[in-house]
Amino acid sequence: MIPLLPGLRVLDLTTVIYGPLIGQVLGDFGADVIKVEGPEGDLARAIQPRGPQGDSAMFVCNNRNKRSMVLDLKTAAGREVFTGLLRWAEVFVHNMRPAAIDRLGFGFAPVAAINPQIIYCAAVGFGSGGRYAGRPAFDDVIQAAGGIAALPSYRGQDPAYVPGVMADKVAALTATYGVMAAIAARGRGMKGPIEVEAAMFESVAAFVLNEHLAAAAFGGPPEAAGYHRMFAPDRRPYRTQDGWIAALPYTEQQWRRLLDFTGRRDVLQAPWFSDPGERSARIAELYTVLAEEMTRRSTADWLEALETLDIPHAKVNRLEDLLRDPHLQDVDFFAPNGTGLARSARQPVRFPGLADEPDRPAPALGADARALTEMLGYTPEQIDQLRAGGAFGPPA
């Protein structure tokens, strides 16, 4: 935990990855994050594999540095306690569909009336101003809608999902910098409620089009979109004699060093090679040369040669390789640091001049309910009444 936001009060009404990652990042920077779950708990708690305490790896990797409270927001008693938490909070984050949060009575306008200084972050699937607003959204759907799944088709392959929860994480980081901007604005004197809306579809579309807008940025037709260097068939990991490697000569000097090393004087002496525009237009040919040459040496030989030639490169790591990577070990990337896990990918942003504090492990379901209810000023008798009214789930 990096104590940059100590005491910032965050109310987290989120599930799975998209929303919880926002709260975890804020918690990693020292915020006091209260995660509110329904009686059944966050859906991610049950996703396999699960640890000895019963919670999944997905849950514990997205909910550290939080406290947990169970509330049934379908009951009047549950909504009463939640309203108290909204008065306590400086930031409120949810990833419910707009109609669902409105049915509970916690859309932006009602929450701003409860807490006129709230930073209200709605992490939604599609932006509220468009015709897709309110549609259900999961990672695969947004990878398809946002252009990620279609990228392989520009190489003549079938559309495919990235086999990772790409859209959720891109959108979560987008939402997080929106919240951070609102926090900074508050610190610079902005008054009143601040509404932040982060949409998965728009986040992924912006992510994809950053480089792929290409000629369409200058008024070309939509078909002019696409950073075609990325679509070259041989812009890919390269097979060596015994494995796979990534290599990316980018500047003319890097290409010259590599082509000289491999003896490809025919390419070096081609009249187009020294012209930056021509070299860019024929980059697919250079990648093909690279693919051919890579098969002539082992991975170890290439790693040594590319290091000497000062050309960007990397061995193609599998997931298990990341867990053994010496650089990640050097920087204590997997240091448990209080999480209770054998391995936990730590917050990657570092502030070398600040001392870290131990992380708190992801909380058990409802672990802090009594302490948090007491924090809101309820007496033991009132807490018993809330429990009888179903605030914390069906009465025992």
- Average pLDDT across the chain, whole number: 95
pLDDT of residue 396: 65
| Amino acid at the residue 292 | E
- What distance in Å separates the CA atoms of residue 195 and residue 180, rounded to the nearest whole number? 12
User: Are residues 66 and 362 in contact, defined by beta-carbon separation less than 8 angstroms?
Assistant: yes
User: Are residues 233 and 243 in contact, defined by beta-carbon separation less than 8 angstroms?
Assistant: no
Strands 238-239 and 244-247, how do they pair?
antiparallel
pLDDT of residue 338: 82
User: What are the tokens at 371?
Assistant: 């302490």
Strands 313-315 and 91-94, how do they pair?
unpaired
pLDDT of residue 270: 94
pLDDT digits (tens, 9 = 90+) for 96-107: 999 999 999 999
Buried b (16+ CB within 10 A) or exposed e, 193-215: bbebbbbbbbbbbebbbeebbbe
pLDDT at 337 > cutoff 80? no
- Can you give the C-alpha Rg of the chain in angstroms? 26
User: Are residues 13 and 92 in contact, defined by beta-carbon separation less than 8 angstroms?
Assistant: yes
- What distance in Å separates the CA atoms of residue 112 and residue 209, rounded to the nearest whole number? 34
Q: What are phi and psi of 43, to 5 degrees?
A: -55, -30
pLDDT of residue 29: 96
Mean pLDDT of 63-92: 97
User: Could you tell me which residues come within 8 angstroms of residue 137 by beta carbon, excluding any fewer than 6 positions away?
Assistant: 124, 125, 126, 200, 201
User: What are the tokens at 148?
Assistant: 């990620």
pLDDT at 241 > cutoff 80? yes
The CA–CA distances, whole Å, from 256 to 58, 75, 252, 262, 302 equal 46, 70, 6, 10, 16
pLDDT of residue 53: 85
| Percent of all residues in the chain with a pLDDT value above 90, rounded to a whole number | 92
| Percent of all residues in the chain with a pLDDT value above 70, rounded to a whole number | 100
